[in-house]
């Protein structure tokens, strides 16, 4: 049984998704979805433990040997991210039960859970697979279901946001598949580790170079690297809150994983160095992204849009870690992947709880809510502090590692810029605090009360995780370091 | 270099650019999807071309033939075609709902309407607009 864990992880949500359509009764479908996601989470816990103690796991689909058949390979890097994605997904699903009852019409609930489980399948599949084409298929599964998840709400702007995302996401995915095709042309293989062995022989060829170029642009579209982030703010702002929480925490992170996997495990850092000044490009785009998106966040009126822009800025930090091209930098990137997922899931779930009560994500409607919904608001503030990088939160840990990595490389001006950018984060988080606590309430009603327990518990699990991993960094830093070492060790 | 001999790759590049151009340049949401389809189709051509071995036949074992084309890229592209159809269907479904919600499928019309919405939000936050409607909304439920 445990031997089949790598595939079960992906196949269980895949099979469960159509089953949702047969169950039909929204309440039961909701609980079923939680169970499925929790099963995936338990499997990923088992997998990570096995990977840390026993080393990389390889699973041959249908018993066909690796370069011919499709291989699933779990190492420290994707074991760690599988745990993150399935864990966050389970917590978000618990909050979804009440949240979507207000945001979606009753007849769409079943479809919501179906699309959600498909999206989870896609994300877990991308992480687990070691086959370049299989990765593209899972990428499209997760993308198509996220377009649905975004458009399923009642806000009409979600439709245009979803359309925009569909166009840009498809261009990104097509670029990736062009890259895969060009690599197949040169090597005749699709298995990532087989590719890694065969590519060095054809490093000089222009085909491999253009494969790499197509690939980088495609993935950067998917992970919303500035200036390819245009689809993200609207998609996050107008989607149902649960969708936002789930996608913000997982989908861009998985895209970053794809980037890391291709750069380090397939092409190899030497090829990247001699072919493209990728470090410089990432440094420039990462930094510009951080500043442009942080400043844009300050001017937003919609709180979801505000934190969506902040997500673009955080992607900048993640990419900055990659730009350093050292083991320390990669550790910082992996840490921030994990930590940012925790922060954004907590914040967007808390916003979802407010939307549940007042039916709006306009910042001006949050005036005076600090007294009405103290626990929910405290969660938003805690998440905000984590975004700034206040000590004792996860945000501090990852920024600390990022700054240390930058100093270690000797890039102290960049380190200073990172610190300055944190001050911009103070401004946008302060704007939220100002509306919540210091502005007199505009809506005089006693009907607004604290969010229901079914939402507060998942929110606070995430907030406490934010603080716990900010203090006890053994798991996150430990695994990130091991993963970074193994990625650099491969080459 | 044999430029004419590589004509199928020229078709790939030309189709790819035509598709990409339509996606960027057209305002109409359906035309954009058509462009996207053309763009994806060019990749199908790329894969199919690379699987073809000169002078080879279909990969069905037969004593009379020694040389076979590579079937793998063709199989891969079957999957990609399915993905492409799903994407187009999804996109068209979205366009239908956009038309129902906005009464237009021209990007500029939609943008004007969205900007008006945003202006209202702005007025509500900083202007003197009465925000009782939110209160009423809550009461109705």
Q: What is the pLDDT of residues A318-376, one digit of tens each?
A: 999 998 888 898 999 999 999 999 999 999 999 999 888 888 888 888 888 888 888 99
Its domain, for residue A364, covers: 283-491
pLDDT over 60 at B132, yes or no: no
pLDDT digits (tens, 9 = 90+) for A123-147: 999 999 999 999 999 999 999 999 9
pLDDT over 90 at A293, yes or no: yes
Q: Quick one: average pLDDT of B58-84? A: 88
> Is there a contact between B39 and A171 if contact means CB atoms under 8 Å apart?
yes
> Using 50, 70 and 90 to split pLDDT, how confident is the model at A381?
very high
Smallest Cβ–Cβ distance between B98 and the set A160, A171, A445 belongs to A160
- Judge whether B117 and A157 are in contact, CB under 8 Å: yes
pLDDT at A125: 94
Q: Is residue A193 part of a domain?
A: no
Say whether residue B123 is in contact with chain A using an 8 A CB cutoff. no
Q: Rounded to an integer, what distance in angstroms lies between the CA atom of residue B51 and that of residue A167?
A: 28
> Is there a contact between B135 and A445 if contact means CB atoms under 8 Å apart?
yes
Q: Rounded to an integer, what distance in angstroms lies between the CA atom of residue B129 and that of residue A263?
A: 53
pLDDT over 90 at A150, yes or no: yes
Query: Two tokens at B126?
Result: 């900083």
**More confidently predicted of A95 and A275:** A95
> Is there a contact between B101 and A171 if contact means CB atoms under 8 Å apart?
no
pLDDT at A121: 95
- Closest by alpha carbon to A10, among A142, A172, A174? A142
pLDDT over 60 at B131, yes or no: no
pTM confidence score: 0.92
Q: Rounded to an integer, what distance in angstroms lies between the CA atom of residue A203 and that of residue A220?
A: 22
Please state the domain count of chain A. Answer: 1
- Among A23-37, A263-277, A387-401, the minimum mean pLDDT is found in A263-277
Say whether residue B44 is in contact with chain A using an 8 A CB cutoff. no
Topology of the domain covering B12-55+67-129: Helix Hairpins (1.10.287)
- Domain limits, chain B: 12-55+67-129
Q: Rounded to an integer, what distance in angstroms lies between the CA atom of residue A309 and that of residue A328?
A: 27
Residue A9: CB partners within 8 Å, gap ≥ 6? A40, A43, A44, A47, A82, A86, A124, A128
ipTM reported for the complex, 2 dp? 0.88
- Closest by alpha carbon to A263, among A275, A248, A247? A275
pLDDT over 50 at B62, yes or no: yes
- Closest by alpha carbon to A294, among A308, A273, A276, A277? A308
Residue A166: CB partners within 8 Å, gap ≥ 6? A147, B87, B90, B91, B94
What H or E segment, with its residue span, contains residue A458? helix A453-471
pLDDT over 90 at A38, yes or no: yes
> Is there a contact between B86 and A362 if contact means CB atoms under 8 Å apart?
no
pLDDT digits (tens, 9 = 90+) for A74-118: 988 889 899 999 999 999 999 998 888 888 888 889 999 999 999
pLDDT at B18: 95
Q: Is residue A65 part of a domain?
A: no
**More confidently predicted of A426 and A449:** A426
Q: Rounded to an integer, what distance in angstroms lies between the CA atom of residue A206 and that of residue A170?
A: 25
- Please provide the DSSP assignment of A345-383 as one string: HHHHHHHHHHHHHHS--BGGGGTTHHHHSHHHHHHHHHH
- Judge whether A46 and A77 are in contact, CB under 8 Å: no
pLDDT digits (tens, 9 = 90+) for A163-193: 999 999 999 999 999 999 999 988 888 898 8
Angle at A146 between CA A189 and CA A58, to 5 degrees: 35
């Amino acid at each position: 049984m445990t031997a089949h864990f790598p595939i079960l992880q992906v196949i269980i949500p895949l099979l469960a998704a159509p089953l949702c359509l047969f169950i039909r009764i929204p309440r039961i479908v909701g609980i079923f979805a939680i169970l499925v996601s929790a099963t995936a989470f338990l499997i990923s816990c088992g997998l990570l433990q096995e990977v840390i103690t026993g080393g990389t796991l390889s699973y041959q689909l249908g018993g066909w040997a690796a370069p011919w058949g499709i291989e699933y390979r779990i190492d420290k890097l994707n074991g760690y991210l599988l745990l993150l994605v399935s864990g966050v997904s389970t917590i978000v699903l618990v909050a979804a039960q009440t949240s979507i009852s207000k945001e979606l019409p009753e007849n769409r609930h079943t479809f919501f859970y179906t699309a959600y489980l498909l999206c989870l399948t896609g994300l877990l599949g991308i992480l687990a697979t070691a086959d370049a084409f299989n990765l593209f298929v899972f990428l499209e599964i997760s993308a198509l279901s996220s377009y649905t998840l975004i458009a399923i709400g009642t806000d009409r702007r979600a439709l245009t946001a979803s359309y925009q995302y569909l166009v840009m996401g498809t261009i990104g995915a097509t670029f990736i598949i062009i890259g895969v095709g060009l690599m197949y042309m040169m090597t005749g293989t699709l298995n990532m580790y087989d590719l890694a062995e065969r590519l060095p022989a054809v490093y000089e060829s222009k085909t491999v170079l253009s494969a790499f170029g197509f690939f980088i642009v495609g993935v950067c579209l998917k992970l919303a690297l500035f200036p390819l982030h245009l689809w993200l703010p609207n998609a996050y702002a107008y989607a149902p809150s649960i969708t936002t929480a789930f996608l913000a925490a997982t989908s861009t992170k998985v895209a970053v994983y794809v980037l890391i996997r291709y750069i380090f495990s397939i092409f190899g850092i030497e090829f990247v160095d001699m072919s493209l000044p990728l470090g410089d490009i990432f440094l420039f785009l990462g930094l510009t992204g951080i500043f442009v998106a942080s400043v844009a966040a300050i001017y937003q009126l919609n709180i979801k849009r505000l934190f969506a822009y902040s997500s673009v800025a955080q992607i900048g930090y993640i990419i900055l870690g990659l730009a350093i091209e050292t083991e320390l930098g990669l550790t910082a990137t992996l840490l921030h992947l994990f930590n940012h997922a925790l922060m954004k899931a907590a914040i967007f779930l808390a916003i979802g709880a407010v939307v549940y009560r007042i039916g709006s994500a306009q910042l001006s409607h949050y005036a005076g809510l600090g007294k009405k919904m103290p626990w929910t608001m405290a969660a938003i503030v805690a998440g905000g502090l984590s975004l700034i990088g206040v000590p004792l939160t996860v945000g501090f840990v990852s920024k600390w590692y990022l700054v240390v990595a930058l100093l270690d490389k000797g890039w102290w001006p960049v380190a200073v810029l990172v610190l300055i950018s944190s001050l911009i984060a103070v401004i946008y988080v302060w704007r939220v605090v100002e509306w919540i606590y210091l502005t007199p309430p505009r809506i005089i009603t006693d009907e607004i009360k604290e969010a229901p327990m079914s939402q507060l518990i998942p929110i606070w699990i995430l907030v406490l995780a934010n603080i716990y991993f900010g203090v006890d960094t053994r798991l996150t830093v430990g695994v990130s370091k091991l993963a970074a070492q193994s990625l650099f060790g491969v080459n | 270099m044999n430029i004419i001999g590589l004509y199928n790759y020229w078709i790939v590049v030309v189709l790819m650019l035509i598709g990409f151009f339509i996606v960027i340049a057209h305002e109409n949401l359906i035309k954009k999807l058509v462009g996207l389809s053309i763009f994806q189709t060019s990749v199908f051509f790329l894969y199919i071309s690379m699987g073809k071995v000169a002078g080879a036949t279909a990969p069905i074992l037969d004593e009379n033939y020694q040389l076979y084309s590579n079937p793998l890229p063709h199989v891969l592209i079957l999957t990609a075609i399915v993905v492409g159809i799903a994407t187009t269907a999804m996109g068209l479904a979205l366009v239908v709902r956009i038309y129902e919600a906005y009464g237009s499928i021209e990007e500029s019309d939609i943008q004007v309407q969205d900007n008006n919405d945003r202006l209202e939000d702005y007025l509500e936050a900083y202007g003197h607009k009465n925000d009782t409607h939110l209160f009423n909304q809550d009461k109705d439920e």
